């Protein structure tokens, strides 16, 4: 399962991987985690994926989506947080 670290610093959002590959064959999920604060994942228009809910457990904010099954799809999404510039990475679903 691909895990993405979300960092919130100086008004900017960054992720440790801007293009993530998730395997449809393995029914992988994608998880985003941050120790810096609350964030939201929003899929771009045209996507049928629901936006995941972000939870906070012990000071770690986490959002998860999947399992992915549609091979050859690229999902574009935004990482948003109040007071930070929006970031627009993507997920590529591979066999």
Q: pLDDT of 35-65, one tens digit each?
A: 999 999 999 888 888 999 999 999 999 999 9
Question: Given this model, what pLDDT does residue 7 score?
Answer: 98
Other residues' Cβ atoms within 10 Å of the Cβ of residue 92: 13
- State how far the alpha carbon of 61 is from the alpha carbons of 26, 29, 57, 70, in Å: 25, 17, 7, 27
What does the pLDDT average to over 10-20? Answer: 93
Share of the chain above pLDDT 70, in %: 100
**pLDDT surpasses 90 at 18:** no
Q: How far apart (Å, rounded) are the C-alpha atoms in residues 59 and 26?
A: 30
Question: Given this model, what pLDDT does residue 74 score?
Answer: 87
């Amino acid at each position: 399962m691909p895990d993405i670290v979300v960092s919130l610093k100086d008004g900017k959002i960054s992720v440790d991987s801007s293009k993530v590959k998730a395997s449809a064959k393995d029914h992988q999920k994608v998880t985003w985690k941050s120790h810096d604060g609350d964030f939201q994942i929003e899929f771009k228009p045209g996507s049928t994926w629901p936006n995941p809910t972000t939870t906070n457990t012990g000071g770690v904010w986490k959002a998860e989506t999947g399992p992915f099954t549609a091979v050859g799809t690229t999902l574009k999404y935004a990482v948003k947080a109040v007071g930070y510039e929006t970031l627009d990475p993507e997920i590529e679903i591979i066999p």
